[in-house]
Structures are given as C-alpha cells and as structure tokens.
Amino acid sequence: GKVPPSSILASAPSDRNLAVWRESGCRTTHCNLEVLQESTLVFLATKPHVLPGVLQEIRPAVGPHHIVVSMAAGVTLQTLQRLLPAGTKVLRLMPNLPCVVQAGAMVFSRGSGAGDEEAALLKSLLSSCGLCEEVPESYINIHTGLSGSGVAYVYLFAEALAEGAVKMGMPGGLASRIAAQTLMGAAKMMLETGEHPAKLRGDVCTPGGTTIHALHQLEKGALRATVMNAVEAATNRARDMAKD
C-alpha cells in the first residue's frame, strides 16, 4: 500500500504481460520513453541482454531528477553508468522470488551519482516487499548464490522432506504443506529471536532423541559442505556471467 497503482506506469513492447498490470490498476504503455517522461523512479526490469539496447533508447530522456534502478542480473553499475548520461542517479537491485508474497530478500548498491536520499527512498519503498539492505556491489553476486538461487535450494529441501514423510506413510499433499510450514516456522524463529541457528538447533535436540539421530544422518551426508558448494557454484556462475 506504499504507492497507489495509478502512480505506476509499466512499459513493454507487446501486450503479452501488460494485462496483469492493468488489472491491478496500473497504467501501461508500449513506449519506454513515456515511462521516463512520466516517472521519477524508473525500474529497469528487462532481461540482461536486452538492457544495453533499452539504455541507448532512453538515454536522451534521462535527466538529473531521475532515479534509475536496474534489476538486470550481471549488469554492473559501471556498465549502467557508461550507457547513461554522466551523473545519473543509478542503483542496482537484486531481489528474489518471494518478493511476490512480501517475503523477499533484496540487496541494492548505489552508483556514484546516487546519494543517501535515493538509497533511503529505495529501501523504504522495497521494505514493503521483505528484507531490503544496502550492500557493496561485490555482495550482489553472493546474494544471488545465497538467496536468489537459494530459494530453489529450499524448494529442493522441502520436496525431500515431504518425500521422506511419504516414504514413512503420510500422504504427499499433507506432507508438502507441513514441510513448507516447518521451514517457514524455523526461519521465523531465526529472524525473530536473533539467536544463532546452532543454538536453536541444540534447543530442539533432546539427548538420545529423534532429532539428534536425524541430524547425524545429515552430517554423514555432508549436507553442510554440499550447501556451501551450491552457494559457491551459483556465486561463481553469477560472476562469470557478469563478465560476458
């Protein structure tokens, strides 16, 4: 409820995706330049390979009052600033999928033209979608590996949990819902108590009980190392892609 839909203008070359926007009450157009003319805060939400072309197109219409926020993976602030007028207020944002349910994890970095005011505005606006933190640009690829892709790791884990339950005799639908709730509940406890996850883990482990037996299985499978490998692989891939 931070911004009324009528204040949002979205543009796309075709109508394919625009209907959804109109349904929410937003205005739409096929003209990118119109977005620059009508808006102060402009989000660049195209696929990375399309972006340079779009920047060329809108460059003449970009002025000192504009705040340009790019969400294109792998497109650096240096590139963005090179393709836009000197001194433009540019910021780079990396969200993740659960933003759609207001439980996102987002990081952003500011370019040389953007100041505290712009950063504060963006943070305040995006906090309505979840956790939003300003970071040095070098963290953005890491965020991709941790949380951008990380969401997929969680889905995989949830699927496996449910499968285990099915094996032990529970119907799949129920198992899936309980798996999701378990993950959400555990995450909520971490966020709300601020306690170290190792301590929270210990709190659940009664001596000789079910949990410690299960954890031993996870340790035997070197789950921790595997997860670390996953974050590393995704981060490295993000770094490689940014060079292309």
Partner 1 sequence: MSVGFIGAGQLAFALARGFTAAGVLAAHKITASSPDTELPTVSGLRKMGVNFTVSNKDTVKSSDVLFLAVKPPIIPFILEEVGPDIEPRHIVVSCAAGVTISSIEKKLSTFCPTPKVIRCMTNTPVIVREGATVYATGTHADVEDGKLLEQLMASVGFCTEVEEDLIDAVTGLSGSGPAYAFTALDALADGGVKMGLPRRLAVRLGAQALLGAAKMLLESEQHPGQLKDNVCSPGGATIHALHFLESGGFRSLLINAVEASCIRTRELQHLADQEKISPAAIKKTLLDKVKLESPSLSVASASKVSLFTNKSHSS
Which of 167, 168, 164 is CA-nearest to residue 179?
A: 164
The answer to the question of residue 228 lying near partner 1 (CB under 8 A) is yes
The answer to the question of residue 191 lying near partner 1 (CB under 8 A) is no
Among the listed ranges 42-50, 66-74, 81-89, 218-226, the one in contact with partner 1 (CB under 8 A) is 218-226
Q: Which of 87, 164, 185, 197 binds partner 1 (CB under 8 A)?
A: 197
Instruction: Please name the residues in contact with 79: beta carbons below 8 A apart, sequence gap of 6 or more.
Output: 52
Q: Which residue, chain included where needed, has tokens 């952003």? A: 108
Using an 8 Å Cβ cutoff, are 75 and 41 in contact? no
Which of 77, 125, 134, 74 is CA-nearest to residue 106?
A: 134
The C-alpha atoms of residue 81 and residue 59 are separated, in whole angstroms, by: 11
Instruction: Tell me whether residue 48 is annotated as binding.
Output: yes
The answer to the question of residue 133 lying near partner 1 (CB under 8 A) is no
Q: Which of 47, 65, 199, 243 binds partner 1 (CB under 8 A)?
A: 199
The C-alpha atoms of residue 181 and residue 179 are separated, in whole angstroms, by: 5
Beta strands in the chain (DSSP E): 9-11, 27-29, 41-44, 67-70, 89-94, 104-110, 130-134
Among the listed ranges 6-14, 56-64, 122-130, 224-232, the one in contact with partner 1 (CB under 8 A) is 224-232
State both tokens at 88: 């433009």
* Of 174 and 233, CB closest to partner 1: 233
The answer to the question of residue 243 lying near partner 1 (CB under 8 A) is no
Among the listed ranges 42-50, 86-94, 176-184, 216-224, the one in contact with partner 1 (CB under 8 A) is 216-224
Q: Which of 196, 209, 210, 211 binds partner 1 (CB under 8 A)?
A: 196
Instruction: Give binding residues for NADPH as ranges.
Output: 32
Instruction: Give binding residues as ranges.
Output: 32, 45-48
For partner 1, the binding residues (CB under 8 A) are 196-199, 202, 216, 219-220, 222, 224-225, 228-229
